[in-house]
Amino acid sequence: MTMHRFLRQLLLAWFLVVMTSINVFAQAPPESKEFEPVVGQEGKDVVWVPTPQALADKMLNLAKVTPQDYVIDLGSGDGRIVITAAKRGARAHGIEYNPDMVELSKRLAAKEGVAEKATFAKADLFESDFSMATVITMFLLPEINLRLRPAILNLKPGTRIASNSFNMGDWIADQTVEVTRAEGCDSYCTAYLWIVPAKVEGRWKLPQGELVLKQTYQMISGDLNAGAGRISISDGRLSGDQISFKIGNSQYTGRVTGGAMGGTFTSDKGTANWSANRVSN
Ligand SMILES: C[S@@+](CC[C@H](N)C(=O)[O-])C[C@H]1O[C@@H](n2cnc3c(N)ncnc32)[C@H](O)[C@@H]1O
C-alpha cells in the first residue's frame, strides 16, 4: 500500500467515526415521560387524594356556583374542582404546592377547553390571598381547616365554603350532604357547606329599644332592652348578610350592611319595616 492510499483510508475511517458519532448525538432524546400523579403521594401539608367527581359536582351544587362566581380551590391537586367550576362558566383558580400537579392541571384545563377560566398557581395555601373568592373549596384535613378558619371567617359575608369530608370544629356546617355509592362515590363522600356570616355581635339601636346581640358563628342570641323590660330574642340566625330572629311573636328578617341592618318584621298586626344602627361592638 502506498503512503498516499494509506492516508486516504485513514481519513475515510476518521470520517466514518465522526459521522457515526454525530448521528448518535443527533438522534431525538428519549421521549420524556409525562408526570403521572399517584393517590397518596406526599403533599406539603396533606397528601394527594382526588375528590370523586360525583362529590366535586355536589360541592359546587351546594355552593350554588354560577358564572358570576370566582371559585378558589385550596390545594387543588390535579385541578378537577377548578376545571369543573370553569366548565360551569365560573372563573376558577387552584392553589397547589406541588409544581408537577400545577402543570398537570394546566394541561388538563387546556384539554377540557377551559384554560382561560381555570388558572393555577404554584403556591403555599397558607401564604396565599384568597379573599377575592366568592366560593372556596377544599379537601384538606380537620386541623388545617381549623388553622384556616379565622381567615375564612374574615372573608366577605356570604362567601360559600365547601369542604370534602372534613369539618370546621365547632363551626357547624349550614348544610351537609352525602353522595351515595349509587351516585358514584365510594370513599370521601360527604360535602359540607358554610356561609361566612356577617359580624353582628354588639349593641344596636332600634326605635323600640336597644338590641344586644351575642354571636357564635352563624347563630345569634341576645335581648331587646325596651321601656317595658327585657325580652330575649329567639331563633336568631345569619346566612351571609341575611339576618333573622324573633322577638316575642314577631319574626324579623333583614340584611346587615356594616353598621346598619334592617328589613321587615311580621307580627299579629301585620308586616312593617325595621332598621337598627350599631352603637358598639
Ligand atoms: C387531598 S388533596 C385534594 C386535591 C383537590 N382539591 C381535590 O379535591 O381533588 C390535597 C392537595 O393539597 C395539596 N397541598 C398540601 N399542602 C399544601 C399547601 N400548604 N399549599 C398548597 N397545596 C397543598 C397537596 O399537594 C394535594 O394536591
For residues 53 and 61, is the Cβ–Cβ distance under 8 A?
no
Rounded to an integer, the average pLDDT of 247-273 is 96
C-beta 91 within 6 A of ligand 1: no
Model pLDDT for residues 145-164, shown as the tens digit of each residue: 999 999 999 999 999 999 99
Confidence class for position 272, pLDDT limits 50, 70, 90: very high
Model pLDDT for residues 166-224, shown as the tens digit of each residue: 999 999 999 999 999 999 899 999 999 999 999 999 999 998 899 999 999 999 999 99
C-beta 98 within 6 A of ligand 1: yes
**From atom 11 of ligand 1, which residue's Cα is the shortest distance away?**
75
pTM of the predicted protein model: 0.88
> Is residue 233 predicted with pLDDT exceeding 80?
yes
C-beta 77 within 6 A of ligand 1: yes
C-beta 139 within 6 A of ligand 1: yes
Model pLDDT for residues 89-142, shown as the tens digit of each residue: 999 999 999 999 999 999 999 999 999 999 999 999 999 999 999 999 999 999
In terms of DSSP bridges, do strands 160-164 and 135-138 run parallel, antiparallel, or are they unpaired? parallel
Total Cβ atoms within 10 A of residue 197: 25
Atom of ligand 1 nearest to the CA of 94: 6
> Is residue 28 predicted with pLDDT exceeding 60?
no
Which residues fall within 8 angstroms of residue 85, CB to CB, at 6 or more apart?
A: 60, 65, 69, 71, 73, 92, 118, 135, 137
CA nearest to 212, candidates 232, 237, 193? 232
**From atom 23 of ligand 1, which residue's Cα is the shortest distance away?**
75
> Is residue 24 predicted with pLDDT exceeding 50?
no
Q: Which mutation among 55, 57, 76, 95 tests ligand 1's pocket best, with the greatest number of atoms within 8 A of CB? A: 76
